[in-house]
Structure 1
Amino acid sequence: MAEERSAELPEDVETDDCLATYSYIYSPELLKDKVAFITGGGSGIGFRTAEILMRHGCDTAIGSRNLEKLKQASNKLTAATGRHCLPLAMDVRKPETIAAATEEALKEFGKIDILVNNAAGNFLCPATSLSFNAFRTVMEIDTMGTFNTSKVVYEKWFKDHGGCIVNISATLGYKGQALQVHAGSAKAANDAMTKHLAVEWGPSGVRVNSLAPGPISGTEGYRRLGGLGAQTNGMFESIPLQRAGNKTEMAHGVLFLASRASSYVTGACLVADGGSWLTSANSLPAVLDYWSSGLKKDK
């Protein structure tokens, strides 16, 4: 039974490399001639999202602070999909860099149809050891970065042409997760922002939704937040689907929200965590012991 379930999962690789094979669920032309702007598109979920959108006919602009890493990612994505990928240096905390990147994308492609706010930062740390600067930095990247990028792209294109925004969220704030007050607060704010912007920008033909992943293998977050240890210790047995998710599964969630398959969906959060937040333990002593054993340091 387990082997049968594994065979149904979409292809993925642990590294930030393109898939050797890909089995289509939707039409390969689902996003034909669309253009997506993806923050944090050089690695992890952002990289795989760019690949899956491109495999469905979309061109992409991927942005982050590390231009060299983006160029390497862009070359991989274009070689694997045959679509155009434009690497753009930007910092989601600095609106002027977002504006410059957006203008460059519009100059290159002539339009932007989809914005994926994927840039984020996270680590494990108790509130008592969390510095004021560390909390502020996570809020600036996750929350301000999402607002900054959404506002710039809206003003420069979506306001007059419509479009679709997908914010990558998390379930951390749903029940109060230990060691995650910074990221949980930021993602909770983003969930509220998704609803507010969906209401305000709906008349302009803009849909705004979010995707909340669970533990996703092959990502920096998985490594930083204890995913490998949880997998080894059998902690994923508490997840109804009994496993971590993979990056392609998250990309498929974005694909749905970014496509005409969800044309009447806005202001919604699609939780894609295998049921994890409903059932996984949230033991404060256990996570504090885990943090103390190898992660303890002020942030």
Structure 2
Amino acid sequence: MTSPFRTDVLAGKRILITGGGTGLGKGVAAHLVSHGAQVHLWGRRPAVLEEAAAEAAGGRDGVVHWQVVDVRKADLIDAAMDEIWSQHGPLSGVINNAAANFIAPTESLSPRAYEAVSSTVMDGSFLTTLAAGKRWIANGDKGSVLSTLTTWVWTGSAFVVPSAMGKAAVHAMTMSLAAEWGRYGIRVNAVAPGPIPTEYAWAMLNPTDTSSAGATQEDAVPMGRMGSIEELAHLTIFLMGDGCDYLTGQTIAMDGGQMLAGPGTFASLTSMTKDDWAEARAKSQAASEAAKTQRGV
């Protein structure tokens, strides 16, 4: 897919991506670099981050940096921000991409499972945004925040309730901080992609061979196909660039019309049996263990 932007459209930008070692964050990072940005990746697995940084850099020196950061921990976030500011200079943008999710009947969730998802999505996005925002405000710098959400922020979704709750909270944060921080030249927006396949997320959200319905099915999308990381990257480049400084407080759906036709949620999984859910849990656990092995855990 040909980019609609000049290769230097993000020149001089320094952009942080949380959850940048895998999935959408990793994929978007390479496109930001190819359009002139210096990119910083945060995640919890050093081997994965190192590999993602090398891939995004594409052989260019000094354009991608990484740090091991658990975005649920405010002290770790502040220390990592201090390191970026002192060693590289102020960030110009933050992409809140770190997330956790899996499908499950809500009544089966433990408090620990709920917290693992909601704290990564909600607390991680807020704490990272706050750490960057207070530095921008103190120094009189402009900045841009972009959070990766889902269309569930408008509709809710069965079987992914902790994720839907966390994403809705970040949607509220987007609108609230846009109104509060606009006077400082800080823009706060979000994107809500439809189904874009990434290996680990797809294993967690499509863990059975028997399920043919849900938010990740391309036959539920009016355009009849999945989205691509390239398309998400192009929207991200536009929102992180300087072409429309007047745009703030918006969550933009990029889902091929899925929400309008469905909406695109997991409500149809009510047809799954107890045996189906047992299979789903087993496959989710296998996918999680495989990811840990790949990451050297």
TM-score under structure 1 length normalisation: 0.85
Counterpart in the other structure of 2:143? 163
Please tell me the residue identity of whatever aligns with 1:197: L
Counterpart in the other structure of 2:172? 192
Any gaps of 5 or more consecutive residues in structure 2?
A: 286-297
Please tell me the residue identity of whatever aligns with 1:157: W
Matched position secondary structure for 2:8: coil
Any gaps of 5 or more consecutive residues in structure 1?
A: 1-9, 11-22
Deviations 1:69-128 (A, max 9, x none): 111211222225566111111110001111111111112321210100100000001111
Q: Does 1:204 align with 2:175?
A: no
Please tell me the residue identity of whatever aligns with 1:188: A
Counterpart in the other structure of 2:252? 270
Shift of 1:147: 0.4
Q: What is the alpha-carbon root mean square deviation over aligned residues?
A: 2.5
Aligned mates of 1:296, 1:70 — CA distance in 2:
27
Counterpart in the other structure of 1:286? 271
Counterpart in the other structure of 2:82? 103
Counterpart in the other structure of 1:5? none
Q: Does 1:245 align with 2:224?
A: no
Matched position secondary structure for 2:134: helix
Counterpart in the other structure of 1:29? 8
Aligned mates of 1:55, 1:228 — CA distance in 2:
37
Q: 1:92 aligns with which of 42, 64, 71?
A: 71
Matched position secondary structure for 1:103: helix
Shift of 1:172: 2.1
Aligned length: 278
Q: 1:140 aligns with which of 98, 114, 119?
A: 119
Aligned mates of 2:89, 2:180 — CA distance in 1:
25
Deviates more, 1:259-268 or 1:204-213: 259-268
Matched position secondary structure for 1:188: helix
Aligned mates of 1:222, 1:176 — CA distance in 2:
19
Mark the CA change 1:259 to 1:129 in structure 2 (over 3 Å): closer, same or farther: same
Deviations 1:242-297 (A, max 9, x none): 11112222122211111122321100001111111222363242356795262147
Q: Does 1:261 align with 2:243?
A: yes
Matches within 5 A, 1:3-42: 10=1, 23-42=2-21
Matched position secondary structure for 1:295: helix
Deviates more, 1:61-70 or 1:172-181: 172-181
